[in-house]
Structure 1
Amino acid sequence: MLFSSLFSLRLWQWLLPVCVVLLGSGCASVEPRKASQPTFTTVYVVRHAEKDPAPSLLDPSLTAAGKQRAQTLVDTLRKAPITAIFSTATTRTRSTAEPLATARQLTVQPYDARQLRALAARIRREYKGQAVLVVGHSNTILETVEALGAPRPAPAVQDSEYDYLLEVRLPQDSTQAATAVARRYGVR
Structure 2
Amino acid sequence: MLFHLLTWLHLLTGLLPNTAAAKPPVTTVYLVRHGEKDLTPNLADPALTPAGEARALALRDMLAGRHPAALFTTDTRRTRATLAPLAAAKQLTPQVYDAKDPAALAALIRRDYAGKTVVVVSHSNRLPGLIEALGAKPPMTEISEAEFSYLFEMQLPASGRARLKVRHYGAR
Aligned to 1:13: none
Q: Distance in 2 between matches of 1:148 and 1:46?
A: 14
Please list every run of 5 or more consecutive structure 2 residues that lacks an aligned counterpart in the other structure: none
**Is the contact made by 2:64 and 2:90 (CA closer than 8 Å) also made in structure 1?**
no
Cα deviation digits, residues 117-155 of structure 1 (max 9, x gap): 001001110001000011000001111110111111334
Q: Partner of 1:31 in structure 2?
A: 13
* Secondary structure class of the residue paired with 1:112: coil
The aligned residue for residue 186 of structure 1 is 170
Q: Which residue of 2 aligns with 1:11?
A: none
Q: Using the alignment, how far apart are the partners of 2:83 and 2:22 within structure 1? A: 30
Aligned to 1:112: 98
Of 151, 171, 187 in structure 1, the residue corresponding to residue 137 of structure 2 is 151
Q: What is the 5 A alignment of 1:89-128? A: 89-128=75-114
Residue of 167, 171, 175 corresponding to 2:153: 167
Whole-angstrom CA distance in 2 between matches of 1:97 and 1:38: 29
Correspondence 1:134 to 2:130: no
3-state DSSP class of the match of 1:149?
A: coil
Shift of 1:78: 2.6
How far apart are 1:36 and its partner, in Å? 4.8
1:38 to partner: Cα distance: 6.0
Matches within 5 A, 1:48-63: 48-63=34-49
SS for the counterpart of 2:118 is: strand
Relative to 1, partners in 2 of residues 1:181 and 1:28: Cα closer, same or farther, differing over 3 Å?
A: closer
**Matched residues in 2 for 1:38 and 1:70: separation?**
32
Hey, which bits of structure 1, 4+ residues long, moved more than 3 A? Answer: 33-38
Deviation digits for residues 75-108 of structure 1, max 9, x if unmatched?
A: 1113212010000000000000111011000001
Q: Structure 1 residues 52, 130: closer, same or farther in 2, change over 3 A?
A: same
Tell me the secondary structure at the aligned position of residue 169 of structure 1.
strand
Measured in 2, the distance between the counterparts of 1:94 and 1:28 equals 52
* Distance in 2 separating the partners of 1:130 and 1:95: 23
Structure 1 residues without counterparts, runs of 5 or longer: 1-20
Question: TM-score normalised to the size of structure 2?
Answer: 0.88
CA contact (8 A) 1:151 1:179 kept: no
Percent of matched pairs sharing the same residue: 47
Task: Indicate the residue corresponding to 1:74 in structure 2.
Answer: 60
- Counterpart of 1:5 in structure 2 is none
Look at both structures and tell me which one has the larger radius of gyration over its CA atoms. Answer: 1
